[in-house]
Amino acid sequence: MSAVSSRLPVFPWDRLEPYKATASAHADGIVDLSVGTPVDPVPELIQRALVEAADSPGYPTVWGTAALRNALTDWVERRLGAVGAGHRNVLPVVGSKELVAWLPTQLGLGPGDRVAFPQLAYPTYEVGARLCGASAVAYADPTELDPDGLKLLWLNSPSNPTGRVLAKDELIRVVAWAREHGVLVFSDECYLELGWEAEPVSVLHPDVCGGTYEGVVSVHSLSKRSNLAGYRAAFIAGDDAVLAELLQIRKHGGMMTPAPVQAATIAALGDDSHVTEQRVRYAARRTALRTALEGHGFRIEHSEAGLYLWATRDEPCWDTVAHLARLGILVAPGDFYGTAGERFVRVAITATDDRVESATKRLAE
């Protein structure tokens, strides 16, 4: 067994390949709802900003330009309700997945340390713990964890895969518990602007953090809100002491957001109209798919925010994957995200209008 395979779980998406082949054989082609990747165009003003910054022959800085930091602090105050955020409270990163995977390593964690994440969760939280040799711990309620050796607590609201949103009171309780026990909280809030039946709240909101960022950091991405998955544009905000340490480490590692992407990020965060337009697209696709799935015998749980429907037919998830693959529809099995998801599938709402319409017709047959 190689050193890599002994440290990391099997890459889950490889297991979907046979079902993808079945779905692709459908007469009308595959409807791929397995991955939440954007399919709509990058907004014109963002493309324009990228192109205008294309002549950038010098190295960018890890901390980003002052203009980028201004855009980040303005956004967290305007959108998250954060108070008093300054340049020391923000840091651009090269896509949020990179941050999630390498954060425990960059924090200096290792054997004997523990990293906790939700029972149903994006697999990269566990990967990050394994990469540095720390112990990965899944929780149902973080405040019931043994704090001994617990160095990093991941929150994820809205959740990937379930779309569950943590209520403000719950966030207040968790942050207070973590501070009491000296546990650093990182809150993955990449789907925060996609609330449908609930209004997501950030850990940086003063009602949650008490007006101080001590021990809390939020993670944000432009991949979903602005269709920028291909740009790798993301950032973190919060505790200035934690961010200062990460900044130094990332300088040594050369983890620099490209200058044109920095310019594009400034344009994206300064414009709300394209976010509203994209929300309208996703809302229509979400309604169509939810109606079709429920008509086909599925039950939808949580899913009050984000880009997924957490669906079940009360059977093993791989049976559901196989059933939908025969209809030419590919979805993600719930056990990719933890054993608690073994009777669910995650259905992405990110397909084109044409593909969503095709899926709804097949589900109605």
In the chain, CATH 3.90.1150.10 sits at 3-41+274-364
Give the fold, CATH level 3, of 3-41+274-364.
Aspartate Aminotransferase, domain 1 (3.90.1150)
Q: Are 138 and 338 in contact (CB under 8 A)?
A: yes
Quote the CA–CA distance of 182 and 179 in Å, as a whole number. 5
At which residue do the structure tokens 């960022």 appear?
213
3-state secondary structure of 208: helix
Tell me the per-residue pLDDT of 189-232, one tens digit each, with 9 for 90 and over. 999 999 999 999 999 999 999 999 999 999 999 999 999 999 99
Q: Which of 71, 28, 114 is nearest to 235 (CA)?
A: 71
| pLDDT of amino acid 9 | 64
Q: Which CATH class is domain 44-269?
A: alpha beta
Stated as kind and residue range, the H or E segment containing 152 is: strand 150-156
Scanning the chain, the segments in alpha helix (DSSP H) are: 3-7, 17-24, 44-52, 66-80, 96-106, 124-132, 168-180, 206-209, 240-253, 259-269, 273-295, 317-326, 353-364
Comma-separated ranges of CATH 3.40.640.10 domains in the chain: 44-269
Mean pLDDT of 50-61: 97
Give the model confidence (pLDDT) of 322-365 as tens digits: 999 999 999 999 999 999 999 999 999 999 999 999 999 999 98
Q: Which amino acid is at 277?
A: E
pLDDT per residue as tens digits for the range 267-321: 999 999 999 999 999 999 999 999 999 999 999 999 999 999 999 999 999 999 9
Indicate whether 124 pLDDT > 70. Answer: yes
Checking DSSP bridges between strand 329-330 and strand 31-32, what pairing results, if any? parallel
Distance CA 175, CA 181 (A): 10
Are 64 and 92 in contact, with CB atoms under 8 Å apart? yes
144 pLDDT above the threshold of 70: yes
Cβ neighbours, 10 Å, residue 320: 22
How far is the C-alpha of 114 from the C-alpha of 137, rounded, in Å? 7
pLDDT classification of 6: cutoffs 50, 70, 90: low
Residue 359 and residue 61 in contact, taking contact as beta carbons nearer than 8 Å: no
**Residues 6 or more apart from 98 whose CB is under 8 A from it?**
232, 255
- pTM of the full structure: 0.94
